[in-house]
A and B are shown apart, each in its own frame.
Chain A
Amino acid sequence: MKHFFKSWILLVAVSLTIISCNNDDDNSGLPTPQGKYDLGYIISNEGNFGSPTASLSFLSADFSTLENGIYANANNGNPLGDVLNHFTTNEDLAFLVLNNSNKIEVVNRFTFEKVATISEEIELPRFAAADDNVLYISNSGSQSITVYSLTDFSLLRKIELNKSVEQLELTDNYLFVQNASFGTGKEITPIKISDFSVEQAISLPDNIKAIEEEDDILYVLHQSGVSKFNTNSMQKINTIPFADGFTGVSKFDVEDNFIYFTQGSSIYKNSTNANIMTATALVDTNADGASWGVGYGFAVEEDHIFYTDVNGFTENSDVMIYNLEGEFIQSVTVGIGANGVEFND
């Protein structure tokens, strides 16, 4: 989600301060990987429900090398688990949310070697958000947010919301909890992270599909458009409605002043300041199958658009990569049910 240049600066800064890092950087000025899986794209493959087929793939920044099954490769061949619903990172660690395994695997972000398994008060975990000290997990089974210390991975708090909990977005002051899952639910609950107090929910006029935070603005994808909220005042900024012809938009990403989203096999791109979401596609991926069999995972990272075709979960997924103008670059075949892509740096 960060601009490459920004993250590069950050990386250099971080690499100077991390003790564990073997950084004998020369004077070339290029970032040196802090582990085997640094400086590349991490692709999460949720796997088939009911089997330990969740996996992670690593794709090098220039798309030249792909390694599937990196968790197993880094951990003596042990399977990762059952349904990798989400993964996120903080400065040093990656958090793998395994929904049907009912656990969170915490790994070193650069080597993917296991650090800890969290299962206390985990009940069908959905999404994770973390800063340097604390990890937040949304649990659909208990309709709660569980909070863990990242020093000893102990449970700090269980915040019961008694409504559906799904995606999480973390700012300096608030954790935003999407109270909508499987296309049903119209609220977002902000939780103040200083004292874990639950604030007044933000209401939307129709069902929420996804949320995304960028530069102190919370973008909310819902049935009729994308609404923007100020993440400090909680005030609505405006709503960009969909033009006629959009019926089932369910995935989006906000990156560098553009909103990208998919409907069926097509990808759309609009300015974050647009008045309306145009019905002209940036590109049609021509992924075949019914409109719902494709576009399971969608992300915009490092000036590239990633669109996954999960092939009905009956075989491995294809990830199609485009540049921001919608030109096809290449595709790679990863694990089962590819649902997310993030650049690791």
Chain B
Amino acid sequence: MRQFLFLILLLFLGHTVHAQKRELLDSVVLKASNIRTQSIGQNIVEIKSSEIKKYRPQLTDVLNFETPIFFKENGLGMVSSPSFRGTTAQQTAVLWNGINVNSTFLGQVDFNTVSAHGYSDILVRSGGGSAQLGSGAIGGSILLQNQLDFEKGHQLSLNSSLGSFATLNQSLDYQWSNQKISAQVGGNYVQSENDYPFFNSNAKNENAAFDHLNLYLNASVKLNNFHKLTLYATAFNGERHFPILESTQIRTKYQDENYKSQIAWEYINGKWSAEARSAYLQEKYTYFQNIERPNLKDYGTAKSLVSILQTGFKPNKNLYTEVRLNLRKDWAKGTAITTASRQISKAHLFLKQNLTKNWIYQAQVSMQHTKDFDMPVLYQIGSQYQLKRNHSIKASFSKNYRIPTFNDLFWPGSGNLNLKPETSKQFEASYGFKREKWQFGLTGYNIKISDMIRWLPAEAGVWKPLNTNKVRTRGLEGNAAYNTTFKKFQVQVNGIYAFTEATNLETGNTLIYVPKHKLTAKLDLIYKNWNFIAQTIYTGKVYTQTNNSQETALKAYPVAQASLSYNSSNTLNWELGARVRNLSNENYFVVNYKPMPGRNFEIFFNLIL
């Protein structure tokens, strides 16, 4: 509450002192509210669909190469959990067109069961954002976006690839828009035997096949100059066998079936805007304990209904305010949690103001309520100052949370109804430099997390969740990019480096599966019709035991890949190319005892009509 009063005071002061300053806000006329314009003080990386298509069709691969996030991937294509700025898998929020889609059961997203396909862009915002984006936005947030443009005509695109270990990836997308209507429809299908050989043995990755089908349909209609109606829908159906290391082991598999749909009404008129959204989400998992006994399965279904009502007001060029109400209800049922539900209501206030020509800040606060546990007041304050000659500095301070999941609360025999949300306070500051060819950024952050939920072994082999740990993560993130044209070469080079120090404050030990160093680098060369891309990720040593035992630590490793392709844009616009992954044939482990594939190959063909 004290923070809230402080915030009110700050808003008041800001308003009276600087109400007459000039604009940094987009224009006098309001535009639809957008996460890009509501992230003052924080960094956003944008990955366009043309880039996304150069990676495997699961989110893990693209984000691993394009962001500082570390992914704990249990073997290629298997369960993949992010560690963003040294935080846990539940402390990264994933939003699908503005709706938080972290699993109701697990609180996290398995980044190998979310297709990267079908989005116009993926935005990755580092740092806290729970006031705005809800539970889990502690380490950062991943925003899967569908932008619907108007007056673009028709476009049909087809992408195919065929790779090692009987891997096939096929996608088809169609877009059409005129002045009033815009529509996108498409899908992708991937399948892989995934039976890569292991290093130093005759064994291979047994029982590891996976496939998924992902479909989407998005459409937007401008009813008139003021009103717009948009529909988003997506369906995902995937199956993974879980690999075994010994032939005697029982073969299991896991199926995911997820649906998301949303309808949004947007209204903009002069200084006022309003928005109403309703989303329906459904997630279903089925675990087959033994594929030879198909009746032996566990399943869980969760459904969520989310309604958001918001209004924005821009009294002058330098000030924008917004009020948002959010109501969410989740239901779950299944073999373990037979029935459970939860309702959360939330009110959110947002304000953004130009203090001077070069100085802008935003402040926001959100309060939420649920019957199950006490909810903290969340807030964020961010500011950015534009120095002379392309230099800028910014900073953000926020309080964020991660609520207990349905499994934490209701798992039979284990669920703990006395859990409270994990909370975090964090600060970050950045420096940025931008010129025509150069771009450079450096960010330092400090995150403190209390009441971390941890599952511990209980009596009779049962595990139970508890609010136990205090954790501090701090680090540095640097990025640099350089673009140039040299003779007939177009050259683009960029790199990201993340230094992360995640510490359990009770023991002083480093958290497991958080590398201190992660470096990614990319070279993209275009010469006439040829495109060559070389990329690498270097991941530092990780501990796999909480006592930081050196014997069980995983050594640092580099992984590199390269592709060469030929583009033709005469009558038909097509591209044909080949890619080599794990170029140096590195025997590496992301997760202990989960071997990753050696050098492997892929050919790809893309067509745009």
Contact = CB atoms under 8 A, between A and B. Distances in A.
A310 B249 contact: no
Contacts of B454: 312
Contacts of B460: 182-183, 209, 250
Interface residues of B, number: 26
A293 B456 contact: yes
Interface of B: 245-246, 248-250, 289-290, 293, 413, 454, 456-462, 464, 466, 512, 545-547, 549, 592-593
Residue among B250, B546, B592 facing the most chain A CB atoms (10 A cut-off): B250
26 contacts: A50-B593, A52-B245, A81-B246, A82-B246, A100-B249, A102-B248, A119-B248, A122-B248, A141-B290, A182-B462, A183-B460, A183-B462, A290-B458, A292-B457, A292-B458, A292-B459, A292-B464, A296-B457, A310-B457, A312-B456, A312-B546, A313-B457, A314-B545, A314-B546, A315-B546, A316-B545
A289 B549 CA distance: 20
A189 interface: no
A101 interface: yes
Contact of B545 (A81, A103, A315): A315
A123 B250 contact: yes
Interface string A52-88: 1100000000000000000000000000011000000
A124 B289 CA distance: 11
Given A290-B466, A315-B545, A316-B547, A101 B246 contact: yes
B249 A314 contact: no
A250 B459 contact: yes
A225 interface: no
Q: Is the interface of B mostly helix, strand, loop or mixed?
A: loop
Given A51-B593, A311-B546, 7 more contacts: A141-B290, A248-B459, A293-B457, A312-B546, A314-B512, A314-B546, A316-B549
Contacts of B245: 52, 82
Nearest to B455: A312
Contacts of A203: none
Contacts, number: 78
Contacts of A248: 459
Contacts of B549: 315-316
Contacts of A313: 457
A209 B459 CA distance: 10
Nearest to B594: A51
B133 to A, nearest CB: 30
Contacts of B459: 183, 248, 250, 291-292
Closest 8 CB pairs of A and B: A292-B458, A315-B547, A314-B546, A183-B460, A103-B248, A51-B593, A315-B545, A119-B248
A97 to B, nearest CB: 12
B593 A52 contact: yes
A76 B466 CA distance: 41
A173 interface: no
A117 interface: yes
Contacts of B461: 182
Nearest to B461: A182
A310 to B, nearest CB: 6
Contact of B249 (A102, A289, A292, A312): A102
A100 B244 CA distance: 10
Contacts of B457: 292-293, 296, 310, 312-313
B246 A103 contact: yes
A299 B289 CA distance: 32
Contacts of B293: 141
Interface in A242-257: 248, 250
Nearest to B250: A102
A264 to B, nearest CB: 9
A201 B457 CA distance: 31
Contacts of B290: 123, 141
A341 B289 CA distance: 30
Residue among A50, A122, A291 facing the most chain B CB atoms (10 A cut-off): A50
Interface in A307-345: 310-316
A289 B464 CA distance: 12
B249 A101 contact: yes
